[in-house]
Structure 1
Amino acid sequence: MVLALLIAAIFMFVKNKPRMDAVGVIMIAALPITGIITVEEALIGFSDPNIILIAVLFVMGEGLVRTGVARNVGDWINEKAGGNETKLLVLLMLAVAGLGSVMSSTAIVAIFIPVVFRICSNTGISPSHLMMPMSFAALISGMLTLISTAPNLVVNSELIRQGEKGLGFFTITPFGLAILALGVVYMLFARKWLPDNASNSNKKKRKPNFKDWIKKYELIDREYRVKIMPDSILLGFKINELDLKLDGLKLLAVERKEGSKNVFIRPTKIMDFLVDDILFLDVRVHDVDLKGLSEKYGVEKINLSGGKGYLTSLSQELGMIEAIIPAESDLIGKTVKEARLRSESGLTVIGLWRGNQPILEDFLEKQLKVGDTILIAGFWEDIKRMGLESDELVLLNLPVEFEEVLPAADKARHAIVILFLVVMAMVTGILPNVHAVILGCLAMGFFRIIDMNSAYNSISWKSLVLIVGMMPFSIALQRTGGVELAADGLINLVGESAPWVAIAALFFITAVLGLFISNTATAVLMAPIAIAMAFDLGLSPYPFAMSVILAASSAFMTPVSSPVNTLVVGPGNYKFGDFVKIGVPFTIIVMIIAVFLIPLILPF
């Protein structure tokens, strides 16, 4: 009866009907009916510390997303590689694997897809040359630490349940590092077999970005940043007491040091200027004497970081949006200056597009016409409010930068420190793993890196329910002799061969099973079989458990083997066969590495 339920579960997984978490719930309800296990035992997964650990790790990973830690790494890769495809591939794989070792690999790939698109857009490299290496690195990240993926924790939980000592935080790391190194080398050679085409999603009409508008409205030399010096004549004045417009300038924002951090302030008429304030100015007159203005006002010019264009480096705080003048707007016939958008909404008009060209000279004095498009700059919250409240303008598409605004960008250091302390607590054993991550999660909440809504939304409830639903199978199969039967079958298959042959057979079966069902479900099913097989052979269970762990993360062979692969199919414009011809050889390589290293590091 239990075997029939297991076969039914696998059949539903393969068909993907119903969804996987629903299958888990069905199994929780069905197993007690067999009389093999009780209802309490069917629900035992909900009290398993590893389930809590997995859930809280999702939340901590969300903290790294919300603070921009992962995306900053992507920007660093772009800068260091300098457009060299080989450097990009190596740095991308190392970064994705490193980040994936402490957060969800699926989340990492989702974060890095737009990063890779930006890199490809700037360098002309085909996304198909980087997307698959990125997904492979994310899968390999599951082989780097105990907490890097759910199957590791599932196998570790089974070891503990069988009365064995759990794996250490870095027990798996030597295997993962070796596989990562060979994976990078392999992809450097295998990339010539990758398709050299643009992604379908890239061909679709994309959203505009700041760079598009900088070029369209010719804003490249319009941004001017200055720092107020101690002898500046601006000190003691309020903004409304100075008319910067006479010098062709418009104040967009003020950056001011408050305590240990810098904050961006919306300019108001009654705001005072302070020493060391950084002013972000829009230069509206092309032949303005900037050096003379610096001397006049007692300010020091600040060069833009990395030569970035208008507001590009400030996209977390300040935004831009295009708006069109509709036929019923009361702004028709008024000049941009008379529209008084600054006083009414806190936003500044920085460009005017009419017909098929920008109006560059005296655009503030031009009367607005139906169909004119204006470019507006200001704080994101003001832009969002205008979209909700304005009847005079129709806002067009929000730029890509709006989607990249981070809710907790100023808390990146806090997130890194918290993550480091959690990892140290787990490595040293000062605290139980689940206790350490719960404290880390609470710390992220205390520092407002995450909130309750983002925490709940970050958890993959589908994965958790699946694991909980499949866990009772381990108990049921052991009581009915199913685990022993499977273990004996494997032993008979390999005969009296050396133990490494049993390791290879276990890896092969786990990897093949992972083609049809999720790697988490595979680990739930294969972990007890692997451990029973070790006991029957009179050997240590750890080499056999490690074989399951490594095989469960070796989902390289098809685009549906893992959500990580599925995510990059569209962006990379891959076909099913692309994964087969790249993934199958690499899976064989991983199996050879595993069979060679496991006995050396974890003796039988």
Structure 2
Amino acid sequence: MNALLVQHGPMLWVFGLLAACVACFVANRPRMDVVALIALVGLVLGGTLSVGEALAGFAEPSVILIAAFFVIGGALVHTGVAYRVGDWLVARAGNSETRLLVLLMLAVAGLGSVMSSTGVVAIFIPVAVGIAARLQVPAARLMMPLAFAALISGMLTLVGTPPNMVVSGELVRFGAAGFAFFDFTPLGALILACGIGYMLLARRWLGGGATAAARSRPRRRLRELAQHYRLLDRARRLRVNDDSPMIGRTLGELQLRARYGANVIAIERERQFGQQMLTTAANREILAGDVLLVDFARPDLDIASFVAEMRLQERAFRNDYFTDLSRELGLAEVVVPPESALIGKSILDLRMRSQRGINVMGLRRNGQPVEDVLNEKLRLGDTLLIAGSWKSIRLLHTQAHDFLVLTLPAEIDEAAPAARRAPHALLCLALTVGLMISGVVPNVIAALIGCLLLGALRCIDMDTAYRSIHWQSLILIVGMLPFATALQKTGGIAWIVDGLLGLTGEASPRALLALVFGLTAVVGLFISNTATAVLMAPIAIGLAQQLGLSPQPFGMTVALAASAAFMTPVSSPVNTLVIGPGNYRFGDFVRIGVPFALLVGVLCVALVPLLFPF
């Protein structure tokens, strides 16, 4: 026994640490990144690895590549590209649930192939819930297809999910060729097509009922807030004609609010890359062709006479007007608290636009709208509807002595601070992908070039870039990567490979692929797909090398199986996100997810060797 411990003690220590990590991952106590760091320290203190070997993950190119694409995905959100895809989906879906499901899965998979799938699901949940309500279909019929498409997005490109990059890095570390950017695409596209067809059939079993969240009052959107204060009854969209006396003058010079009670809320202006929404400021100059959103706050104003005098042309409100408006302009409800400096003063007296960058759009007192918004003296408990840039809206929280924020519309979660930089963000993404495909520079350098260009073109700022990185995932990878080295040094990988070979005997390589897929998928039920890839990649690659086979089909199988987390609501964060909106039970994922995971497994075993021969 003592001799056995001496001979295999280091390997048993590594397996013990690994088992403890898996147990902590399953229990989710403590956090996964903390567990990984504790294990890293344990490998050093146990004498298994040197400090350099244990910390090598911090210099791993795949880790830097993952961080860079978190930033690129953050830039797509920051510039509004992701939300524009949602707008396109709403416009194209019409009243067809089938078309909506197909377009939703395509859009989510496409975006998720270059940015965080969890972030994509968070963006599309309110979009899908809103459309489901409009079509009067249960949200449950869309939430699971949304989650499945997000998981499949990880099978479309090298950067679709961290496990792909982890496996590619392991292949390189074992001396094999890593994966190219589009190596995953043929299989991923086929799986996506199968997934869409499968969900079109399976949606009939996703009836779902009314959730507690659905029964509770949702956050109102901009249009609802505007209706609540009768803003839509007073507001007009007015185009500035070429002979208007307003042209070339600033809002401060025109004094439209003081002279006419005409409060300019926003300005629509044509730009090279489309229409732009501008917030109002005293020094904002009016140009010919501008379309003004004007709130006529004075009830006695003859609007027709004003329009004629200023040589304006009335325009209708488009269906998507408030969606476009929300990219730059926000609304919020605030209440006047005790001892506020606003009490006893009128809106005109306060000069809110020049001093605070906000417009007061509506006033309610004792639950009823007040007609003369501009001249009414404010009282304790009055509720104001205010408009301004999202930055100004957020700053209201720091002015609690004068305002108490009651309602922030749902669009504040969708505001794109750098919306006008969207074309630049798409150009940077295209350049990054092009560099990765061409192989002119290493993948990680291509991604870093993309990040630097995004920063230089102001598509994302440093604070947002750092916030967009999912540090928990990176630390988890860095902490778990040393296990591959530790298992290799102590003979653990050889021991596992021998055990697998003993189970399979003279089985064909395809049977081994099936075993690898099944084992990876089962491990992925209990721990994150990233941790699953970190653990399974060296085992699968070692198995291939032991048999004298190419490691690439085995690595590809691990990557695809790690993303096939369809079977339980806790096997992936995207599944967890849709439980509430879809009102799902644990069994719903088992009933729908297990057959699809088996289908994906069959496709992988059948097709991976055709693309990556043994």
TM-score scaled by length of structure 2: 0.90
Instruction: Name 2:6's counterpart in structure 1.
Output: none
- 1:412, distance to aligned residue in structure 2 (A): 0.9
One-letter amino acid of the structure 2 residue matched with residue 122 of structure 1: R
One-letter amino acid of the structure 2 residue matched with residue 266 of structure 1: T
Instruction: Name 1:227's counterpart in structure 2.
Output: 239
Distance 2:441 2:183 in 1: 18
Distance 1:385 1:520 in 2: 38
Q: 1:281 aligns with which of 294, 303, 307?
A: 294
- 1:272, distance to aligned residue in structure 2 (A): 5.3
Q: 1:517 aligns with which of 504, 521, 527?
A: 527
The residue correspondences of 1:77-88 to structure 2 (distance < 5 A) are 77-88=89-100
Instruction: Name 2:332's counterpart in structure 1.
Output: 321
Q: 2:67 aligns with which of 46, 55, 58?
A: 55
- 1:386, distance to aligned residue in structure 2 (A): 5.4
Instruction: Name 1:37's counterpart in structure 2.
Output: 49
One-letter amino acid of the structure 1 residue matched with residue 612 of structure 2: L
- 1:32, distance to aligned residue in structure 2 (A): 3.2
Q: 1:401 aligns with which of 411, 416, 429?
A: 411
Instruction: Name 2:579's counterpart in structure 1.
Output: 569
- Could you tell which deviates more after superposition, 491-500 or 199-208? 199-208
The structure-2 alpha-carbon separation of the partners of 1:233 and 1:492, relative to structure 1 and needing over 3 Å to count, comes to same
Instruction: Name 2:605's counterpart in structure 1.
Output: 595
Q: Secondary structure at the match of 1:322?
A: strand
Distance 1:487 1:393 in 2: 66
The answer to whether the aligner puts 1:431 opposite 2:449 as a matched pair is no
- 1:240, distance to aligned residue in structure 2 (A): 5.9
Q: 1:132 aligns with which of 122, 144, 156?
A: 144
RMSD, matched Cα: 2.8
Q: Secondary structure at the match of 2:236?
A: strand
Instruction: Name 1:17's counterpart in structure 2.
Output: 29
- 1:128, distance to aligned residue in structure 2 (A): 1.7
- 1:318, distance to aligned residue in structure 2 (A): 2.4
* 1:251/1:267 contact within 8 Å kept: no
The structure-2 alpha-carbon separation of the partners of 1:359 and 1:549, relative to structure 1 and needing over 3 Å to count, comes to same
The residue correspondences of 1:228-247 to structure 2 (distance < 5 A) are 228-235=240-247, 239=251, 242=254, 244=256
Distance 2:43 2:571 in 1: 27
- Could you tell which deviates more after superposition, 280-289 or 217-226? 280-289
Q: 2:132 aligns with which of 120, 132, 154?
A: 120
The answer to whether the aligner puts 1:540 opposite 2:553 as a matched pair is no
TM-score scaled by length of structure 1: 0.91
Instruction: Name 2:3's counterpart in structure 1.
Output: none
- Per-residue CA deviations over 1:385-437 (Å, capped at 9, x if unaligned) read 55544755544222222332222111111111100110011011111100000
Q: 1:266 aligns with which of 276, 280, 289?
A: 280
The structure-2 alpha-carbon separation of the partners of 1:157 and 1:393, relative to structure 1 and needing over 3 Å to count, comes to closer
Distance 1:149 1:272 in 2: 47
* 1:255/1:263 contact within 8 Å kept: yes
* 2:231/2:295 contact within 8 Å kept: no
Instruction: Name 2:422's counterpart in structure 1.
Output: 412
Instruction: Name 1:68's counterpart in structure 2.
Output: 80
- 1:566, distance to aligned residue in structure 2 (A): 1.5
Distance 1:168 1:313 in 2: 38
Q: Which structure 2 segments of 5+ residues have no match?
A: 1-11
Instruction: Name 1:296's counterpart in structure 2.
Output: 309
The structure-2 alpha-carbon separation of the partners of 1:238 and 1:445, relative to structure 1 and needing over 3 Å to count, comes to closer
- 1:48, distance to aligned residue in structure 2 (A): 1.2
- Could you tell which deviates more after superposition, 583-592 or 222-231? 222-231
- Could you tell which deviates more after superposition, 67-76 or 399-408? 399-408
Instruction: Name 1:251's counterpart in structure 2.
Output: 264
- 1:585, distance to aligned residue in structure 2 (A): 1.0
- 1:185, distance to aligned residue in structure 2 (A): 0.8
Q: Secondary structure at the match of 1:407?
A: coil
The answer to whether the aligner puts 1:172 opposite 2:184 as a matched pair is yes
Instruction: Name 1:148's counterpart in structure 2.
Output: 160
- Could you tell which deviates more after superposition, 279-288 or 437-446? 279-288
Instruction: Name 1:584's counterpart in structure 2.
Output: 594
- 1:109, distance to aligned residue in structure 2 (A): 1.4
- Could you tell which deviates more after superposition, 78-87 or 284-293? 284-293
The structure-2 alpha-carbon separation of the partners of 1:81 and 1:476, relative to structure 1 and needing over 3 Å to count, comes to same
Q: Secondary structure at the match of 1:227?
A: strand
One-letter amino acid of the structure 2 residue matched with residue 298 of structure 1: R
Q: Secondary structure at the match of 1:396?
A: strand
The structure-2 alpha-carbon separation of the partners of 1:357 and 1:123, relative to structure 1 and needing over 3 Å to count, comes to farther
- 1:61, distance to aligned residue in structure 2 (A): 1.1
- Could you tell which deviates more after superposition, 425-434 or 42-51? 42-51
* Number of residues of Structure 1 aligned to a counterpart in Structure 2: 600
Distance 1:387 1:10 in 2: 42
The structure-2 alpha-carbon separation of the partners of 1:348 and 1:482, relative to structure 1 and needing over 3 Å to count, comes to closer
* 2:266/2:277 contact within 8 Å kept: no
Distance 1:36 1:242 in 2: 76
- Per-residue CA deviations over 1:83-136 (Å, capped at 9, x if unaligned) read 322111111111111111111111111222222233234333322221111111
Distance 1:305 1:507 in 2: 51
- Could you tell which deviates more after superposition, 375-384 or 41-50? 375-384
Q: 1:306 aligns with which of 293, 304, 319?
A: 319
Instruction: Name 1:484's counterpart in structure 2.
Output: 494
The structure-2 alpha-carbon separation of the partners of 1:23 and 1:335, relative to structure 1 and needing over 3 Å to count, comes to closer
Instruction: Name 1:495's counterpart in structure 2.
Output: 505
Q: Secondary structure at the match of 1:377?
A: strand
Q: Secondary structure at the match of 1:226?
A: strand
Instruction: Name 1:455's counterpart in structure 2.
Output: 465
Q: Secondary structure at the match of 2:407?
A: coil
Instruction: Name 1:193's counterpart in structure 2.
Output: 205
Distance 1:542 1:159 in 2: 7
Q: Secondary structure at the match of 1:442?
A: helix
Q: Secondary structure at the match of 2:21?
A: helix
Instruction: Name 2:481's counterpart in structure 1.
Output: 471
One-letter amino acid of the structure 2 residue matched with residue 49 of structure 1: P
Instruction: Name 1:352's counterpart in structure 2.
Output: 363
* 1:253/1:267 contact within 8 Å kept: no
The structure-2 alpha-carbon separation of the partners of 1:127 and 1:293, relative to structure 1 and needing over 3 Å to count, comes to same
Distance 1:382 1:37 in 2: 52
- Could you tell which deviates more after superposition, 575-584 or 202-211? 202-211
The structure-2 alpha-carbon separation of the partners of 1:386 and 1:476, relative to structure 1 and needing over 3 Å to count, comes to closer
Distance 2:597 2:516 in 1: 14
The structure-2 alpha-carbon separation of the partners of 1:184 and 1:297, relative to structure 1 and needing over 3 Å to count, comes to same
- Could you tell which deviates more after superposition, 181-190 or 560-569? 560-569
The structure-2 alpha-carbon separation of the partners of 1:383 and 1:441, relative to structure 1 and needing over 3 Å to count, comes to closer
Distance 1:256 1:320 in 2: 20
Q: Which structure 1 segments of 5+ residues have no match?
A: none
